[in-house]
Amino acid sequence: MMKSNRNRQIGSDAVGASKVDTLALLYPDIKTITQQMDMAWVAGFDFEPYDIVIDAADTTKVKIEVAKKCYKKLIMALGSAKRYDAHQVQVASIWKTHGDALARKIRNELKKARFNRNFTVVFSPEEDKCKTKGSCVAVTGTVGLTVCSETIKKLLQNAKS
């Protein structure tokens, strides 16, 4: 079975295209990075020049390392699979999340590492609605749009400082 994110591209003219390449075409003034995020890449990457870091990685260990390196400028998207109610998507500190298994796992690992810094996450406390993996475009879209909204808020707040 081929892995696909087609369910997250409903209505897009770029179905099957690289999301990074499509973003670069739409916004030619931004710098895009096409790179598989793994532990070695995160360890060697300089996050300092960036105003905001948006983490939508699928790997828990990578998410944790990104948080450790750049928590002050981080907005992390958490799990949206198996959920159907877009109204339940919330924004909070990682330490204030509830009902989200991925958030709980990240919190537990950060506690073990004695890392107690704060960063923003977008999550859903909705109970899993199905036993198999699957994503509802309403929820994944809401998570993505909420991350975008939080990014704009943070950039405007930083501009005032």
Average pLDDT for 141-145: 92
Helix (H, G, I), strand (E, B) or coil at 116: coil
- pLDDT tens for each residue of 25-48: 888 888 888 888 899 999 999 999
- pLDDT tens for each residue of 71-114: 999 999 998 888 989 999 999 999 999 999 999 999 999 999 99
Residue 31 DSSP one-character state: -
Task: Give the span between the Cα atoms of 52 and 48, in whole angstroms.
Answer: 10
Q: What's the chain's Rg over C-alpha atoms?
A: 16
Euclidean distance between the first and final Cα of the chain, in Å?
Answer: 50
Q: pTM (2 decimals)?
A: 0.86
Q: How high is the pLDDT of residue 2? A: 41
- Report whether 39 contacts 61 (CB < 8 A): yes
Domains annotated on the chain, with CATH: 17-160 (3.40.50.720)
CA dihedral in degrees (63, 61, 35, 21; nearest 10)? Answer: -40
Task: Give the span between the Cα atoms of 123 and 76, in whole angstroms.
Answer: 9
Strands 90-93 and 53-55: unpaired
Q: How high is the pLDDT of residue 9? A: 55
